[in-house]
């Protein structure tokens, strides 16, 4: 099969220049637009690399449903967890440049000896590879980011409070905050802010001129597409994601905060395929440092795998292992390296096949929680650059896993939204009001307004939920404002002393399902106006935190 795309662009070519539109590219354009329509995707950024050359870098659809501004190949998208590969590459190169390696225990490195984890085993043995491959066993405290208090600068201070749920190196347990620790360690070793180190060591030498690191103050200057979210059972109910959430999440930049366009991500793909070299042969990262980042070290299986293996599908696409910010697997028998990026309202994937010097990158501005849409579109695009007869078309991409299999994505924790008025009436709602504290998550504030048949909860600068009674002492939370899409299940109030005693404990299962965090009450609050308590809770967060720490230590 001849190359499906005749448009060949050299690495440094200005992709914005007028090019001859081939018949093959027109066919791809039609397929992409069909897929955007059926998946309810506003806009897409796309890059194809074939035989070590960028053959396409293009934008499709629109940045915003109202303005209808088109996506271009220079439109910046937030790449989410694809940022992790930048973090891993940067730290690996720094360690090998120091004569160390990814398996060196962190606390044996000069300048890192004061790091202290929750156990002596972790403190003595955790390595950079453990952080980068999500195998520390430390619980995922990702929702603590809502508090807005954990930064790269102070993250080490919180380490002793991060509990281990599993033994070191025994289980793949995705952990964004450990990538925050990667950034913290990198800053110490380089003497630079993480964003500056990425710029100096990777982006500048690779001439990724439009790529940058997002933070809470620079979001508007990048003119990103509007991020959207919609329920899978109601695609027509698409809503905008608050950009304030993305700004808050960017306080942990190594986990998700890089923004880039189709042109620059083509350069990043070529950097991988050229074994750490930039245009002109400049060795930006040592081959050893880059190779070690790819090396798989832990199993990372996903139920989705069963949907893309023979005989269910005509070919096999399978990811089984994880290295340092990269998944390893096979497609059509070729070894493949890939990763996805999922942040609030942006969904991306980057994949490459080293033996064929080919790969793809795509990013769209809405959610894709089961990741199926990205994977099946990726498979079709890989067939193009591999010159294989595609086993998917626009119709089967849209209906996948049908007609090959039947599968329904089920969220990890369903929410029973049927109010239990009998259970709710067993205790006055104002009995639950108060400030509750957890050493990692900090303070949440629960209030009751006498005119409302529910509670309200406040957490950090953005978090606010309506808590509806569900069972006796149990509630579910519906997000409001910036956290409208954060549904909380399994909020359980209780007593440290005995069942039915005075409420002084709050368990929030949705904050960490493996070991739900237990918040202890530090002060009671009477029926209060919501606006007043929202302001008061944030203003006095520091005071309650100190008080709670004192009570927990007694």
Cα–Cα separations (whole angstroms), residue 373 to 2, 340, 368: 26, 11, 7
Beta bridge partners of 321: 299, 328
Residue 254 lies in a domain: no
What is the band of 549 on the pLDDT scale with cuts at 50, 70, 90? Answer: very low
**Residue 511 falls inside a structural domain:** yes
**Which tokens hold the place of 346?**
């942006």
Q: For residues 341, 508, 461 and 439, what is the CA-based torsion angle, rounded to 10 degrees? A: -100
Question: Across all residues in the chain, what is the average pLDDT?
Answer: 89
Secondary element (H or E) of residue 335:
strand 334-343
Q: How far apart are CA 85 and CA 182, in angstroms?
A: 11
* DSSP characters over 485-546: T--EEEEEEE-SSSTTS---EEEEGGG-SSS--EEEEEEE--S--HHHHHHHHHHTHHHHHH
Rounded distance, CA 232 to CA 39, Å? 10
Q: Which residue has the tokens 């491959």?
A: 133
Kindly tell me the burial class for residue 216, based on how many C-beta atoms sit within 10 Å of its own C-beta (0-12, 13-18, 19 or more). middle
DSSP conformation class of 164 = B
In a domain, 453, yes or no: yes
Confidence of residue 434 (pLDDT cuts 50, 70, 90): very high
Beta bridge partners of 342: 347
Q: Would you say 253 and 215 are in contact if contact means Cβ atoms under 8 Å apart?
A: yes
Q: How confident is the model at residue 24 (pLDDT cuts 50, 70, 90)?
A: confident
Query: Which domain, by its residues, includes 470?
Result: 421-553
Residues 138 and 237: their CA atoms lie apart, in Å, by 36
Q: Is residue 525 part of a domain?
A: yes
Residues 6+ apart with CB under 8 A from 494: 473, 503, 505, 506, 507
Q: What's the mean pLDDT in 134-145?
A: 97
Q: Do residues 194 and 186 lie in contact, with contact meaning Cβ atoms separated by under 8 Å? A: yes
pLDDT reading at 14 higher than 80: no
How deeply is 2 buried, as exposed, middle or buried, from its count of CB atoms within 10 A (0-12, 13-18, 19+)? exposed
Structural domain count, the chain: 1
Note whether residue 226 is domain-resident.
Answer: no
| Helix H or strand E segment including 9 | none
Task: Determine, yes or no, domain membership for 343.
Answer: no
| pLDDT tens, residue by residue, 474-502 | 999 999 999 999 999 989 999 998 766 89
**C-alpha to C-alpha distance for 391 and 388, rounded to whole angstroms:** 9
Tell me: pLDDT of 415 over 50: no
Q: What angle do CA 57, 275, 130 make, to 5 degrees?
A: 100
Q: Is the pLDDT of residue 100 over 80?
A: yes
pTM for this structure? 0.90
pLDDT at 457 over 90: yes
The DSSP line for 45-86 is: EEEEEETTEEEEEEEEEBS-TTT-PBP-TT--EE-GGGHHHH
Q: Is residue 546 part of a domain?
A: yes
In a domain, 436, yes or no: yes
């Amino acid at each position: 099969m001849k190359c499906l795309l005749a448009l060949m662009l050299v690495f440094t070519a200005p992709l914005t220049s007028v090019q001859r539109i081939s018949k093959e590219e027109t066919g791809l354009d039609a397929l992409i637009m069909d897929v955007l329509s059926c998946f309810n995707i506003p806009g897409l950024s796309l890059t194809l690399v074939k035989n070590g050359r960028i053959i396409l870098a293009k934008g499709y659809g629109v940045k915003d449903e109202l303005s209808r501004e088109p996506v271009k190949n220079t439109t910046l998208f937030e790449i989410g967890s694809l940022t992790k590969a930048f973090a891993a590459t940067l730290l690996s190169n720094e360690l090998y440049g120091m004569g160390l390696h990814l398996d060196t225990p962190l606390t044996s490195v000069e300048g890192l000896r004061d790091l202290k984890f929750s156990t002596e085993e972790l403190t003595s043995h955790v390595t950079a590879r453990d952080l980068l491959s999500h195998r520390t066993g430390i619980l995922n405290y990702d929702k603590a980011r809502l508090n807005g208090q954990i930064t790269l600068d102070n993250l080490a201070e919180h380490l002793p409070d991060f509990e281990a749920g599993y033994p070191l190196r025994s289980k793949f347990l995705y952990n964004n905050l450990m990538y925050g620790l990667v950034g913290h360690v990198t800053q110490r070793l380089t003497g630079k802010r993480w964003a500056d180190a990425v710029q100096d060591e990777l982006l500048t030498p690779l001439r990724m001129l439009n790529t940058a690191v997002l933070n809470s103050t620079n979001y508007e200057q990048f003119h990103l597409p509007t991020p959207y979210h919609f329920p899978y059972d109601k695609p027509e109910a698409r809503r905008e994601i608050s950009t304030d959430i993305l700004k808050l999440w960017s306080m942990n930049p190594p986990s998700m905060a890089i923004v880039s366009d189709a042109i620059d991500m083509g350069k990043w793909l070529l950097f991988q395929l050229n074994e750490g070299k930039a245009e002109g042969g400049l060795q930006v990262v040592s081959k050893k440092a880059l190779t070690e980042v790819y090396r798989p070290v832990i199993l990372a299986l996903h139920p989705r795998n069963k949907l893309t293996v023979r005989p269910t599908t005509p070919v096999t696409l399978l990811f089984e292992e994880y290295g340092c910010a990269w998944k390893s697997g096979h497609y059509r028998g070729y070894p493949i390296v890939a990763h996805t990026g999922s942040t609030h309202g942006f969904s991306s994937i980057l994949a490459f096949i080293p033996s064929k010097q080919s790969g793809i990158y795509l990013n769209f501005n809405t959610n894709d929680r089961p990741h199926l849409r990205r994977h099946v579109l990726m498979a079709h695009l890989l067939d193009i650059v591999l010159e294989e007869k595609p086993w998917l078309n626009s119709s089967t991409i849209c209906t996948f896993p049908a007609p090959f299999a039947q599968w329904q994505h089920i969220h990890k924790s369903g929410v029973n939204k049927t109010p239990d008025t009998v259970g709710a009436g067993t205790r006055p709602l104002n009995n639950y009001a108060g400030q509750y504290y957890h050493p990692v998550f900090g303070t949440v504030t629960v209030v009751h307004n006498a005119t409302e048949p529910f509670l309200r909860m406040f957490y950090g600068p953005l978090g606010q939920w309506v808590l509806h009674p569900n069972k006796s002492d149990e509630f579910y939370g519906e997000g409001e404002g910036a956290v409208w899409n954060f549904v909380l299940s399994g909020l359980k109030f209780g007593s440290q002393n005995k069942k039915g005693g005075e409420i002084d404990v709050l368990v929030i299962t949705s904050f960490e399902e493996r070991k739900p965090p237990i918040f202890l009450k530090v002060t009671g609050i009477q029926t209060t106006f919501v606006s007043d308590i929202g302001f008061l809770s944030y203003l006095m967060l520091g005071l309650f935190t100190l008080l709670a720490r004192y009570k927990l230590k007694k």
